[in-house]
Structure 1
Amino acid sequence: MALTDIWFLLIAVLWTGYFVLDGFDFGVGMLLPFVGRTETGPSETNRRVAINTIGPVWDGNEVWLLVAGGATFAAFPEWYASLFSGFYLALLLILVALIIRGVAFEFRGKIDSDRWRRNWDVAIVVGSAVPALLWGVAFANIVQGVPLDARHEFTGSLLTLLNPYALLGGLATLSLFALHGAVFLALKTTGDVRARARGLAHRTGLAAILTGGSFLVWTFLAHDRIWTAAPVLVAALALVGAVLMIHRVREGWAFLLTAAAIVGVTVTLFGTLYPDVLPSSTSAANSLNTTNAASTPYTLTIMTWVAVVFTPIVLVYQSLTFWVFRRRIGAGDIPAASGLPVASGR
């Protein structure tokens, strides 16, 4: 296997890890107004329980995005240049949303004011929903192909990216991450938040099955890559299985299945894409692939040794983080003083 193929595979693994890990962060953020309630109205305690489930890990999960972007830049600079110039506005919106979400986590508890916290809660919801939607739109466009000229420069506009297939991809990732977050909340909490999360998992699960299934079928039929049949089937069965496991109150299995569904969707996208990295809808001759978009062999060799040394360290550190914060939390774990800040990643 050539180094270019190895790095295409590694980048696919990095994006898969990012979607699995930050996916439940997005889901928790999007569902905050729904789990942060009681029968009598909004509950600050419930919202703090939900936020504290991801407090120690959310910023560590975003490291996968930084590494995926950095690996793309170093291994496939032509891909990075064309992608980030053509998708500039969409990626800028994602970046702004991620910044707003991070600031909201840190500033939400700084002032003891209901209005202050409500405003930051809106920022958390928006900062979670926008990336969840736009990542699907972006990757659907990457797989479908975008207009590139002979110099591999994007010749379309933002409206070019908002086509039916891409929008369906966005709805698929939005609903899938919402399901993933609901299952994570059910797994990590007790009491009222857990009960509400389980109910939301049923509803978001049906949406994920509908949108995700439609997107996967469209992808498979449009590109006719027979080797993607397996991940498509895995993703579909995992989504159905996750809903069934939630119904049987087996949140651990449900979480593993939603993670498997995200893996299946991501493998389908990268499997459909290979050996291209950014197909051209204008002319196949203008497409970027693992050969004409790659760095020099020397660069790829150095990168490979760096990855061999540091990847295990990062995996061990992040695994320890999840192990340390593995316990369920509930209303009894939240200090009575409402002005105290929620747990952050630091």
Structure 2
Amino acid sequence: METLFGLDYPTLWFLVVGGLFSGYAILDGFDFGAGAWHLFFRKEESRRIALNAIGPVWDGNEVWLVIGGGALFAGFPVMYATLFSAMYTPFMLFLVFIIFRAISIEFRSKEPMKWWRKMWDFVYSISSIVLSFLLGVVVGNVLQGLKVGPDFSYSGDSFFGFLTPFPVLVGITTLALFMTHGAIYLLLKTEGRLYAKLTRLLKGGIVFFLVAFAFASVYALVFIPHLTEVFKENPAWFLVPVLALLSIANVPRLASRRKYGYAFIFTSLSTAFMFMIVAVNLYPNLLFSTLDPEYHITIYNAAASEKTLGIMLLMAAIGTPLVITYTTIVYYTFRGKVKMDETSY
């Protein structure tokens, strides 16, 4: 098996896919979180400012989802096929809500009627909440495991089977994390009365996240033993959840001092560490079978050919820096507080 930097191609591609989805969660996470708070803003001007805070970047953030999904399909087609078969309902719901969310952002300001704007405000906020929740639900199901049988076929309930306790808890925790992340981003982009309101909302968001995270963690420790096996076998991996906890603990400390730029960095790091915990729990598996360990989907039995992975790694090495550069330029260009003008939403 070919290697690069001492790692085989399936492992490298596992890291690439994980990195892309982490980037997506960090970037689209804050604009989902900003949308989740939208109905808490009563004034028309506040809602417009909040929309314009994410206006220049939300669609670019979603590029990371497209690239991540494409990378999963190209590198691990077996995993892609089985996961989509099992998670058909949440993925279809995700597609519907992400379309309606985009429509609501673009359509809201097209007509001056109050009912029109309120309708799209509602669609925008609910879509952001549901999308955050569904992302967490999918991650929770991947961690918990699915009824994968012979030939890696899914044999469970594909309609409501995804709504079991642990995925629901992970979905709520993801929503809470994104709301905290989004509130901090809005604080970086606003001032005046909206800024003051967001400082109060952020406190509630932090409490919401800490409580949800605690419940999800306790449930995983008690009811999903395979999630702790890797830490028992290799205690050095405990460093990852420790770093995650330290990062999370730093957010309220920085927020209380109104150092929101640093707080945003630490909510981003917390999100990245969460994905690292997922990766540590899974590797070398991609999807656990709750029927028989023989049917676990791993990075080896799900991978494309080595030639394909080698070519795709070369493309990732060229394309990823370009995407990062583009993203950096966009955020640099639209840095600073939101200023309303005739081009605003």
Fold-level match, TM-score > 0.5? yes
Contact (CA 8 Å) 2:188, 2:336: kept in 1 or not?
no
1:93 is matched with 93
For residues 306 and 238 of structure 1, the distance between their equivalents in structure 2, rounded to whole angstroms, comes to 33
For residues 193 and 24 of structure 2, the distance between their equivalents in structure 1, rounded to whole angstroms, comes to 29
Contact (CA 8 Å) 2:97, 2:130: kept in 1 or not?
yes
Contact (CA 8 Å) 2:38, 2:47: kept in 1 or not?
yes
For residues 314 and 51 of structure 1, the distance between their equivalents in structure 2, rounded to whole angstroms, comes to 24
Q: Within the alignment, does 1:210 sit opposite 2:219 as a pair? A: no
Task: Report the CA distance between 1:219 and its aligned residue.
Answer: 3.9
1:107 is matched with 107
Q: Within the alignment, does 1:161 sit opposite 2:167 as a pair? A: no
2:175 is matched with 174
2:257 is matched with 248
Task: For residue 249 of structure 1, give the secondary structure of its aligned residue in structure 2.
Answer: coil
Contact (CA 8 Å) 1:180, 1:258: kept in 2 or not?
yes
Give, as a single letter, the amino acid of the residue that structure 2 aligns with 1:82.
T
Question: Which of 287, 311, 318 is matched with 1:302 structurally?
Answer: 311
Give, as a single letter, the amino acid of the residue that structure 1 aligns with 2:117.
R
Q: Within the alignment, does 1:16 sit opposite 2:17 as a pair? A: no
2:296 is matched with 287
Contact (CA 8 Å) 2:52, 2:344: kept in 1 or not?
no
Task: For residue 277 of structure 1, give the secondary structure of its aligned residue in structure 2.
Answer: strand
Give, as a single letter, the amino acid of the residue that structure 2 aligns with 1:170.
G
Q: Within the alignment, does 1:188 sit opposite 2:189 as a pair? A: yes
1:327 is matched with 336
1:79 is matched with 79
Matched pairs, number: 330
2:57 is matched with 57
Q: Within the alignment, does 1:275 sit opposite 2:290 as a pair? A: no
Give, as a single letter, the amino acid of the residue that structure 2 aligns with 1:128.
S
Are residues 275 and 217 of structure 1, via their aligned partners in 2, closer, same or farther at CA, if it must alter by over 3 Å?
farther
For residues 11 and 100 of structure 2, the distance between their equivalents in structure 1, rounded to whole angstroms, comes to 36
TM-score (norm 1): 0.92
Task: Report the CA distance between 1:220 and its aligned residue.
Answer: 5.6
For residues 103 and 174 of structure 1, the distance between their equivalents in structure 2, rounded to whole angstroms, comes to 21
Contact (CA 8 Å) 2:33, 2:179: kept in 1 or not?
yes
Task: Report the CA distance between 1:341 and its aligned residue.
Answer: 5.3
Task: Report the CA distance between 1:236 and its aligned residue.
Answer: 2.1
1:199 is matched with 200
Percent identical among aligned pairs is 34
Q: Where in structure 2 are there 5+ consecutive unaligned residues?
A: 1-6
Deviates more, 1:186-195 or 1:21-30: 186-195
Deviates more, 1:2-11 or 1:306-315: 306-315
Give, as a single letter, the amino acid of the residue that structure 1 aligns with 2:188.
L
Task: Report the CA distance between 1:304 and its aligned residue.
Answer: 0.9
TM-score (norm 2): 0.92
Task: Report the CA distance between 1:246 and its aligned residue.
Answer: 1.2
1:39 is matched with none
Contact (CA 8 Å) 1:208, 1:239: kept in 2 or not?
no
Contact (CA 8 Å) 1:231, 1:268: kept in 2 or not?
yes
Task: Report the CA distance between 1:5 and its aligned residue.
Answer: 0.3
For residues 221 and 244 of structure 2, the distance between their equivalents in structure 1, rounded to whole angstroms, comes to 13
Q: Within the alignment, does 1:3 sit opposite 2:5 as a pair? A: no
1:239 is matched with 248
Contact (CA 8 Å) 2:90, 2:134: kept in 1 or not?
yes
Task: Report the CA distance between 1:228 and its aligned residue.
Answer: 4.4
For residues 108 and 311 of structure 1, the distance between their equivalents in structure 2, rounded to whole angstroms, comes to 33
Task: Report the CA distance between 1:197 and its aligned residue.
Answer: 1.4
Contact (CA 8 Å) 1:209, 1:240: kept in 2 or not?
no
Question: Which of 327, 338, 345 is matched with 1:318 structurally?
Answer: 327
Task: Report the CA distance between 1:207 and its aligned residue.
Answer: 1.1
Contact (CA 8 Å) 2:89, 2:160: kept in 1 or not?
no
Q: Within the alignment, does 1:123 sit opposite 2:132 as a pair? A: no
Task: Report the CA distance between 1:287 and its aligned residue.
Answer: 1.1
Give, as a single letter, the amino acid of the residue that structure 2 aligns with 1:238.
S
For residues 290 and 192 of structure 2, the distance between their equivalents in structure 1, rounded to whole angstroms, comes to 51
Task: Report the CA distance between 1:296 and its aligned residue.
Answer: 0.3
Contact (CA 8 Å) 2:87, 2:138: kept in 1 or not?
yes
Are residues 140 and 7 of structure 1, via their aligned partners in 2, closer, same or farther at CA, if it must alter by over 3 Å?
same
For residues 138 and 115 of structure 2, the distance between their equivalents in structure 1, rounded to whole angstroms, comes to 35
For residues 15 and 309 of structure 2, the distance between their equivalents in structure 1, rounded to whole angstroms, comes to 13
Q: Where in structure 1 are there 5+ consecutive unaligned residues?
A: 37-41
Contact (CA 8 Å) 1:146, 1:281: kept in 2 or not?
yes
Give, as a single letter, the amino acid of the residue that structure 2 aligns with 1:236.
L
Task: Report the CA distance between 1:202 and its aligned residue.
Answer: 0.7
Contact (CA 8 Å) 1:220, 1:228: kept in 2 or not?
no
Task: Report the CA distance between 1:217 and its aligned residue.
Answer: 4.7
Contact (CA 8 Å) 2:186, 2:198: kept in 1 or not?
yes
Give, as a single letter, the amino acid of the residue that structure 2 aligns with 1:145.
G
